[in-house]
Amino acid sequence: MHLKIIFMENKTGQFAFVPYDKMEELLQKINTISDAVMNNKPERGGLGDYITEKEAKVILSKGTTWFWNKRQSGELTGRKAGNNWYYKRSDILMFIENGKKSN
């Protein structure tokens, strides 16, 4: 079995050994998400320019409370349908670039 060493940036300076095939799988998933965001293409289709809060959390590495705070302050606009929040992919990208929503 081939192993890659990944050094974790955390408080304790811990590191982890990850099997090569799992590392490749993780990198493929990251590339799929990155391509979907950069190409403005929905991964599963049907949502157009919108992504779920779950997808936005992965992209921005933030939690539910952070999104709630940004919606309350007007820095990020979201739409709720049923029990799910949705955000425009372009707003998420603009937030990454400028730290706020696009107009």
Query: Of 21-30, 73-82, 91-100, which gets the smallest average pLDDT?
Result: 91-100
Q: Please tell me whether residues 32 and 56 are part of one structural domain.
A: no
Three-state secondary structure of the chain: CCEEEEECCCCCCCEEEEEHHHHHHHHHHHHHHHHHHHCCCCCCCCCCCEEEHHHHHHHHCCCHHHHHHHHHHCCCCCEEECCEEEEEHHHHHHHHHHCCCCC
Structural domain span for residue 68: 44-103
Q: What is the number of residues in the chain?
A: 103
Q: How many structural domains are present in the chain? A: 2
Q: Please tell me whether residues 72 and 103 are part of one structural domain.
A: yes
Q: Please tell me whether residues 69 and 53 are part of one structural domain.
A: yes
For residue 67, pLDDT over 90 is answered with yes
Q: How confident is the model at residue 71 (pLDDT cuts 50, 70, 90)?
A: very high
Q: Please tell me whether residues 54 and 29 are part of one structural domain.
A: no
Query: Mean pLDDT score of the chain, rounded to an integer?
Result: 77
